[in-house]
């Protein structure tokens, strides 16, 4: 059996999958997670696109992945310091543990864009402007209500909140929000069958497996309405209705609409934890502030630091399928590295 101690930083989808794969290959793995629970964002999501399965099915799989004798889970822990010499990392945690590792995998994931930064959309200012994450929490609780307890009948979904937006400092596409919008729009109709749902988009980016089919289904079976144009501003009427200003770019004229609720599709950003890891390990980041992989095509798990590998959405926005694949590839890279180092 191959020997090797590996520290995996981040206990989300990528970190759990890497840890599971490495443990099954005979490595001794320490999985470090800043929160008290593993599973990352998926743990807080209700249903997943494109097939709207319960997220618990995925977190159950991940829980089984890390249920292995070779894995030590350190939850509620962060990394404070690191030294590298003679091909060994010495990693100190904030609770005083010192770990020795032959390789490190950074899987610090992403943070959701804080929608209050797009002040013009009124998140945190108007009562019934919520985010995609807030809506998932409502789905989980089983009731979609305005703050006054009434059921919304006209709901707007705003795409690209904090994505493709130089003013927000993020010029990249977060890739998952379009399909999340379509999924949530259909789920809103399932909860409130006579609701009218309007998606405001710049482009519909339906590049993933079954995305376009889901988009079509949302039009055909759920009657979701799509309006092409970036919402410039959200206001509130005297009777607490929300009012959007947008250009309907397909008509070529401005459009005004009152809504009962607005859902903002928050984009993905480099996580705060990732920024800290970049400082501690001296990792390079790209223009999008995510970690810069050694090679865009054939080295997406390698970093600029020897024996340090990257996994998952700390390198770019990724869906769960891609994250798990990327994590498995990272595990393969680590195993190859440790084999070579043995000789």
Partner 1 sequence: MEKFGFKLSKPRVIDFDRNDKSVAEFIHANEPSFRLCIECGGCSATCTAGNFIPFSLRELHILLKRGETEKVKDNIEKCMLCGKCSLVCPRGVNTRNIIELAKRAFKIPELHAV
State the residues that interact with partner 1 by CB under 8 A: 204, 216, 219-220, 223, 225-226, 228, 248, 250-251, 253-258
**Dihedrals phi, psi of 39, to nearest 5 degrees:** 105, -15
Residue among 91 and 227 whose Cβ is closer to partner 1? 227
Residue among 75 and 250 whose Cβ is closer to partner 1? 250
SS (H, E, C) the chain: CCCCEEEEECCCHHHHHHHHHHHHCCCEEEEEECCCCCCHHHHHCCEECCCCEEHHHHHHHHHHHCCCCCEEEEECCCEEEEEEECCEEEEEECCCCEEEECEEEECCCEEECCHHHCHHHCECCECCEEEHHHHHHHHHHCCCCCCCCCCCCEEEEEEEECCCEHHHCECCCCCCHHHHHHHHHHHHHHHCCCCEEEEEECCCCCCCCCHHHHHHHHHHCCCCEEEECCCCEEEECCCCCEEEEEEECCCCEEEEEEECEEEEEECEEECHHHHHHHHHHCCCECCCCCECCCECCCECCECCCCCEEECHHHCCCCCHHHHHHHHHHHHHHHHHHHHHHHC
Residue among 246 and 330 whose Cβ is closer to partner 1? 246
Residue among 90 and 249 whose Cβ is closer to partner 1? 249
What is the rounded distance in angstroms from the CA atom of residue 32 to the CA atom of residue 273? 12
> In angstroms, what is the minimal distance from the CB of 24 to partner 1?
45
> In angstroms, what is the minimal distance from the CB of 204 to partner 1?
7
> In angstroms, what is the minimal distance from the CB of 257 to partner 1?
4
> In angstroms, what is the minimal distance from the CB of 228 to partner 1?
7
Residue among 26 and 254 whose Cβ is closer to partner 1? 254
> In angstroms, what is the minimal distance from the CB of 223 to partner 1?
6
What is the rounded distance in angstroms from the CA atom of residue 5 to the CA atom of residue 31? 11
Q: Which residues contact 188 (CB under 8 A, 6 or more apart)?
A: 135, 144, 155, 195, 197
Residue among 225 and 325 whose Cβ is closer to partner 1? 225
Residue among 257 and 275 whose Cβ is closer to partner 1? 257
Residue among 226 and 337 whose Cβ is closer to partner 1? 226
């Amino acid at each position: 059996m191959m020997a090797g101690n590996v520290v995996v930083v981040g206990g989300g989808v990528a970190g759990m999958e890497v840890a599971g794969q490495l443990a099954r290959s005979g490595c001794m793995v320490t999985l470090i997670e800043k929160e008290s629970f593993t599973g990352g964002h998926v743990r807080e999501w209700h249903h997943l696109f494109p097939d709207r399965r319960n997220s618990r099915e995925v977190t159950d799989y991940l829980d089984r992945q890390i249920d292995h004798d070779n894995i030590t889970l350190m939850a509620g822990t962060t990394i404070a310091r690191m030294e590298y010499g003679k091909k060994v990392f010495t990693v100190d945690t904030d609770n005083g543990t010192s770990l020795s590792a032959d390789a490190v995998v950074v899987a610090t994931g992403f943070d959701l864009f804080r929608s209050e930064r797009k002040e013009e959309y009124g998140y945190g200012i108007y009562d019934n402007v919520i985010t995609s994450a807030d809506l998932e929490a409502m789905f989980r609780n089983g009731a979609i209500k305005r703050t006054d307890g009434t059921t919304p009948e006209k709901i707007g979904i705003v795409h690209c909140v904090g994505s493709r937006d130089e003013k927000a400092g993020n010029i990249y596409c977060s890739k998952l929000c379009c399909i999340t919008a379509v999924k949530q729009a259909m789920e809103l109709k399932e909860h409130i069958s006579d609701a009218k749902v309007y998606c405001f988009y710049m482009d519909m980016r339906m590049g993933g497996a079954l995305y376009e089919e889901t988009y079509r289904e949302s039009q055909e079976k759920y009657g979701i309405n799509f309006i092409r144009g970036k919402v410039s501003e959200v206001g509130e009427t005297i009777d607490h209705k929300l009012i959007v200003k947008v250009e309907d770019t397909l008509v070529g004229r401005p459009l005004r609409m009152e809504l009962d609720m607005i859902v903002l599709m928050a984009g993905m950003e480099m996580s705060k934890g990732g920024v800290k890891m970049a400082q501690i390990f001296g990792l390079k980041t790209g223009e999008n502030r995510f970690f810069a992989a050694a090679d865009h095509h054939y080295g997406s798990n390698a970093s600029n630091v020897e024996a340090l590998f990257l996994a998952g959405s700390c390198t770019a926005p990724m869906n769960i399928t891609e994250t798990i694949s990327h994590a498995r590839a990272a595990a393969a890279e680590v195993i190859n590295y440790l084999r070579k180092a043995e000789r």
